[in-house]
Every structure is written in C-alpha cells, then in structure tokens.
Amino acid sequence: MQCLDCRTESKDTPSVGVCQGCGAGVCESHARITSRTVRHGTPQGPSAQSEARWVLCKVCAEAEALTATALTL
C-alpha cells in the first residue's frame, strides 16, 4: 500500500500504517500518532480504561483537533 498523501504529491512512498479515521495508507512523515482512551468491562459491572495508540492521516488529525476544540468551547 502507498501513502495517499504522497500519491497526491506524485510520490510513491510505502505506507507504514492505516488512518483509523478514513482508512488511507500513511507514510512515516504523514502519520499522526495520538492516543485514545479505551474502556473495558460490561455496562453493569466494574470498568477499567487504558490508553491505546491511534494513527491518523493529516486530514483526519486536523478534523479531530477541530472537533476537540469545538467541544471545549
């Protein structure tokens, strides 16, 4: 799989991951690595949470940032 953002720049760069927002292949320079809280357990029982790695392309990372900013206003 090739990086989608690199393909729009007429480059052939292998992807190192897949955007979890849109499914596009991302190379090392276009990947944005963040974290996401994951909750474990059942609705009626005790629950726990942990941090999971979240890989996004530049476009989805910017959209997530805008959404987070809008939610805090």
What is the per-residue pLDDT across 32-52, written as a single tens digit (0 to 9) for each?
Answer: 998 888 888 777 877 788 888
Beta strands 47-56 and 17-18 are unpaired
Report the C-alpha gap between 38 and 54 in whole angstroms. 11
**Average of per-residue pLDDT across 6-17:** 95
pLDDT at 11: 96
Instruction: Assess whether pLDDT exceeds 90 at residue 12.
Output: yes
* Predicted confidence (pLDDT) per residue in 50-63, tens digit: 888 999 999 999 99
* Predicted confidence (pLDDT) per residue in 60-73, tens digit: 999 988 876 666 65
Q: What is the pTM of this model?
A: 0.74
